[in-house]
Chains A and B, each alone.
Chain A
């Protein structure tokens, strides 16, 4: 088990290196002069030269990359081109918002998705087809549009929830909950339906296996067979689906945070794109990648716990 964790962590190193390298290559392709975009059109050639020197922009790209990498490893992700503040501080101040949304949406969709999927697999028939239709619908509805409709309905018309903004948990847990409720629902709808469909398919498959019949012939109750045996055997594809959903939801925050004007990493990414603020975007990318690495690690650990064969190999 431990070797599995270590192997997965080692696997993350090339991922992060490649992502940052990719970003750097993209950077090298930037058409404009970064120094000029920092200083503006009125800057003199001497000022530009000074900025280039201070940012190391006169060096070849691989030297620049090396400098960025060593700095990043010591926790220095550079300075924002537009706000001139350290990138790391910006990211950390916005992390709790995104984390609340992503973790909340993953939890909500996992619990509801597994419940709905299991129930429809066991009941079968019309409910099964209903789950299929629902999952199709959940996939087809763009989440940012759903967010806008929810705002129009529950915030503007009914005033049940705040339309926009974020309240920190430390300030007021109840208002925190209200502030993230709509965005979490928006993000979770696709996840509930996707996880429900995966659970239903996996359960339906497990329920046709021989060992289920043998358990029935042994005289166990149907509910014990489902919860103790079938669900556990169906869990691996479900865990995979949850992992995939999590990665998707990271990207989803970009749109949903914009819809609800949440000061999170996704919203930061949109703003930075408009301002061509590459260091900040690079930082957001890095944070998201680290999130993916952690989730993949958790998924692998879950595989190990669920499947004795994976645990021992």
Chain B
């Protein structure tokens, strides 16, 4: 078997089922389930544990408050309130069950058919759903009750049917979402029948949302049914139900408020427990199919001023990042994702921040901008023209943003407020930075658009974001970033979402802006082509650290870190036609939790020796004047990955 490049380390992922169970096993849902079970059992077994006959009058003892014999007191006719409450749950819970079953039996299959089949059936069903959603349920149920006299069961069935339209909508939306997953396409390519696809691939994913809806419908049914009983449409007079008990309780609030409070309370608690269970099931089903483990969300404290360590910035640099670290998670359980990064950008310089996903390059850029989400700077300093940013107040940062440094994001179309015209966005930006009047600002906006080569700026100003292409949007984003005449542009993968021809235009534009306005640019990218086309210098990151920093030419011809060399070699560009293999780095990128204390690239490195794992590797000067985080920097050459080196072979 020659096809192994490597037997990959396989993770031990939790079964989706156990993630599901784990999400359910939290205190709140467990308590809710227990309370619900107690209520249901108490009601079902009322005949066994009710202390009194619910219909037994005891006029001598009427309207008594709670006592040892009657825990919740008695009503006007001296009947035991607790016993009536226990028996009274039967009609309500039974009716709620009937309502929920009716709705689910009709709604779930129809929703699935509408969602999975689409087309005419879907259109027809959605018409009906539209009309059904507009029906005032309560009055329709009353109409049915008026027509069918005392057959209250017809009212329940009607209620069940009236809850079908929203159910169809939700099931349909879920079915459509699942249907658009590629594994359904794969099943269709394999030629599976629709029945098989529905039962094997779609239904299991729908169970969660059906359960959520079931709990919701059951609670709505319960509230509704008890309301009908309160109005007198339900069980007749002496027999108890929660709804009639509330009505009776309201009559005697002065003498014994326990009945009103207990009847409403037990109803409310039942609904509450159903709702809590539903919510938990929803969250659990989300957790079950989540693509990545959810990030810890607690925001780390901001560092106190004075933490900003490190030497004073060199006078020549515009931006200076020193020993910057970023952590996600809580104070006690922080996860470092950027680990002691230092670099500088001089005026008019273009620097590339290069690395693969998860290396921390985007987080680093966001940390510089002060836009971290759910994470915080845990050490080091960032200064812009001598102003320390990590300890700056919000107000101080706002002063600098837009006018000193500006940001261009990766997805140009979602970087624009969809409700505003381009003109509003641009003139707002101009007015914020220059304080000019509306008319002046608009003229300046036109200028900016012309600057990024729109032949007809006036037309562009009137457009909305949904009317423009990605390439246009990215040029607009650049124009917007220029509104405050910043000195530094921080761009996070600005061309990744664009087609190659458009990418070339945007890169040309950025290069031109540096030439004409002396703009400095920090560009985050994973693309060597972008680095070579645009950057003077590149900072290569791996596993949260800078592993190499060097001028672009030197980096390409004489990489000083094995990772840089490997990344360059894996790029299919320039591999002569007919070459059978790309040099590739074995193994996978380590997660932050797997970072070792020694060299983090050691396990994948062809030059690794024992000493590499023994402690933190410092940055050292590389022969070409850059820096490299490699103990064997002298051995690194461009073609170490093409040579047939076994790991440790250089020993």
Contact, CB under 8 Å: A254 / B226? no
B interface footprint on A216-245 (CB within 8 Å = 1, 0 otherwise): 111111100000010011000000000000
Bound CA span A252–B223, Å? 11
Contact, CB under 8 Å: A247 / B134? yes
Per a CB cutoff under 8 Å, which of A137, A285, A309 touches B140? A285
A interface footprint on B248-280 (CB within 8 Å = 1, 0 otherwise): 011001100100110110011101100110010
We find that the number of chain A residues with CB closer than 8 angstroms to chain B is 76
Nearest CB to that of B397 among chain A residues? A219
Given A136-B275, A136-B279, A19 contacting B135 (CB threshold 8 A): yes
Asked if B432 is at the interface of the complex by the 8 Å CB criterion, the answer is: yes
| Stretch of A38-46, A63-71, A173-181, A272-280 that contacts chain B | A272-280
Contact, CB under 8 Å: A289 / B134? yes
B-contacting residues, A290-313, CB 8 Å: 291-293, 296, 306-309, 312
Looking at chain A's contact residues, the main secondary structure is: helix
Q: B-contacting residues of A (Cβ < 8 Å)?
A: 11, 14-15, 18-19, 22-23, 26-27, 29-32, 136-137, 139-142, 144-146, 148-149, 151-152, 156, 208-211, 213-222, 229, 232-233, 247, 250-252, 254-255, 258-259, 266, 269-270, 272-274, 276-278, 281-282, 284-285, 288-289, 291-293, 296, 306-309, 312
Contacts of A15 in B (CB 8 A): 131, 134
Contact, CB under 8 Å: A140 / B464? no
Given A139-B271, A258-B231, A281-B139, A152 contacting B417 (CB threshold 8 A): no
Nearest CB to that of A132 among chain B residues? B279
Contact, CB under 8 Å: B432 / A218? yes
Bound CA span A268–B399, Å? 63
Contact, CB under 8 Å: A140 / B219? yes
Contacts of B433 in A (CB 8 A): 219
A interface footprint on B220-256 (CB within 8 Å = 1, 0 otherwise): 0001001100111100000000000010011001100
Contact, CB under 8 Å: B418 / A289? no
Contact, CB under 8 Å: A144 / B401? no
Contacts of A312 in B (CB 8 A): 464
Bound CA span A27–B414, Å? 54
B291 to chain A, nearest CB (A): 16
Nearest CB to that of B421 among chain A residues? A308
Contacts of B264 in A (CB 8 A): 141-142, 145-146, 148-149
Q: 14 more A-B contacts (CB under 8 A) besides A152-B253, A213-B371, A292-B136?
A: A15-B134, A32-B149, A142-B271, A229-B417, A229-B420, A233-B417, A247-B133, A251-B138, A255-B138, A255-B227, A255-B231, A276-B149, A284-B139, A291-B136
We find that the number of chain B residues with CB closer than 8 angstroms to chain A is 78
B462 to chain A, nearest CB (A): 11
A238 to chain B, nearest CB (A): 14
B547 to chain A, nearest CB (A): 28
Given A29-B147, A144-B246, A250-B136, A219 contacting B398 (CB threshold 8 A): yes
Asked if B42 is at the interface of the complex by the 8 Å CB criterion, the answer is: no
B150 to chain A, nearest CB (A): 10
Given A26-B147, A141-B268, A217 contacting B139 (CB threshold 8 A): no
Bound CA span A285–B146, Å? 13
Given A15-B131, A215-B417, A218-B402, A140 contacting B271 (CB threshold 8 A): yes
Contacts of A146 in B (CB 8 A): 264
Bound CA span A278–B149, Å? 11
A212 to chain B, nearest CB (A): 9
Bound CA span A277–B142, Å? 11
Q: Which of B134, B230, B271 has the most CB of A within 10 A?
A: B134
Per a CB cutoff under 8 Å, which of A151, A270, A278 touches B147? A278
Bound CA span A232–B419, Å? 8
B570 to chain A, nearest CB (A): 29
Contact, CB under 8 Å: B144 / A26? yes
Contacts of B253 in A (CB 8 A): 148, 152, 156
Contact, CB under 8 Å: A18 / B131? yes
Asked if B145 is at the interface of the complex by the 8 Å CB criterion, the answer is: yes
Bound CA span A233–B418, Å? 8
What would 21 A/B residue contacts be, using CB atoms closer than 8 Å? A18-B131, A142-B226, A145-B268, A149-B260, A149-B261, A156-B253, A210-B409, A211-B418, A214-B409, A217-B369, A217-B407, A218-B401, A218-B402, A219-B397, A220-B432, A233-B419, A251-B138, A273-B143, A276-B149, A288-B139, A309-B418
Asked if B438 is at the interface of the complex by the 8 Å CB criterion, the answer is: no
Nearest CB to that of B155 among chain A residues? A273
Per a CB cutoff under 8 Å, which of B136, B223, B403, B419 touches A307? B419
Bound CA span A78–B421, Å? 53
Asked if B442 is at the interface of the complex by the 8 Å CB criterion, the answer is: no
A interface footprint on B411-449 (CB within 8 Å = 1, 0 otherwise): 100111111110000000100110000000000000000
Contacts of A26 in B (CB 8 A): 143-144, 147
Contact, CB under 8 Å: B230 / A152? no
Contacts of B373 in A (CB 8 A): 208
Asked if B148 is at the interface of the complex by the 8 Å CB criterion, the answer is: yes
Contacts of A136 in B (CB 8 A): 272, 275-276, 279
A278 to chain B, nearest CB (A): 6
Contact, CB under 8 Å: A281 / B417? no
A277 to chain B, nearest CB (A): 7
Bound CA span A135–B254, Å? 30
Asked if B480 is at the interface of the complex by the 8 Å CB criterion, the answer is: yes
Nearest CB to that of A22 among chain B residues? B140
Q: Which of A216, A284, A291 has the most CB of B within 10 A?
A: A216
Contact, CB under 8 Å: A273 / B131? no
A61 to chain B, nearest CB (A): 13
Per a CB cutoff under 8 Å, which of A31, A229, A250, A270 touches B231? A270
Asked if B406 is at the interface of the complex by the 8 Å CB criterion, the answer is: yes
Looking at chain B's contact residues, the main secondary structure is: helix
Bound CA span A67–B173, Å? 41
Contacts of B143 in A (CB 8 A): 23, 26, 273, 278, 281-282, 285
Asked if B130 is at the interface of the complex by the 8 Å CB criterion, the answer is: yes
Bound CA span A218–B233, Å? 62
Contacts of A11 in B (CB 8 A): 130
Contact, CB under 8 Å: B142 / A273? yes
Asked if B360 is at the interface of the complex by the 8 Å CB criterion, the answer is: no
Contacts of A140 in B (CB 8 A): 219, 268-269, 271-272, 275
Bound CA span A219–B146, Å? 63
A interface footprint on B298-331 (CB within 8 Å = 1, 0 otherwise): 0000000000000000000000000000000000
Asked if B477 is at the interface of the complex by the 8 Å CB criterion, the answer is: yes
Asked if B376 is at the interface of the complex by the 8 Å CB criterion, the answer is: no
Given A137-B272, A219-B399, A276-B146, A152 contacting B138 (CB threshold 8 A): no
Asked if B647 is at the interface of the complex by the 8 Å CB criterion, the answer is: no
Nearest CB to that of A282 among chain B residues? B143
Nearest CB to that of B151 among chain A residues? A31
Q: Which of B226, B227, B263, B407 has the most CB of A within 10 A?
A: B227
Asked if B484 is at the interface of the complex by the 8 Å CB criterion, the answer is: yes
Per a CB cutoff under 8 Å, which of A31, A285, A309 touches B148? A31
Contacts of A232 in B (CB 8 A): 419
Asked if B137 is at the interface of the complex by the 8 Å CB criterion, the answer is: yes
Q: Which 3 A-B pairs have the closest CB atoms?
A: A251-B138, A217-B407, A219-B401
Contact, CB under 8 Å: A148 / B260? yes
Nearest CB to that of B274 among chain A residues? A140
Nearest CB to that of B477 among chain A residues? A214
Contact, CB under 8 Å: B146 / A293? no
Contact, CB under 8 Å: A219 / B417? no
A31 to chain B, nearest CB (A): 6
Contact, CB under 8 Å: B136 / A247? yes
Bound CA span A19–B263, Å? 35
Asked if B632 is at the interface of the complex by the 8 Å CB criterion, the answer is: no
Asked if B17 is at the interface of the complex by the 8 Å CB criterion, the answer is: no
Contact, CB under 8 Å: B415 / A211? yes
Asked if B459 is at the interface of the complex by the 8 Å CB criterion, the answer is: no
Contact, CB under 8 Å: B139 / A251? yes
Contacts of A149 in B (CB 8 A): 260-261, 264
Contacts of A273 in B (CB 8 A): 142-143, 145-146, 233
Bound CA span A218–B223, Å? 50
Bound CA span A308–B135, Å? 29
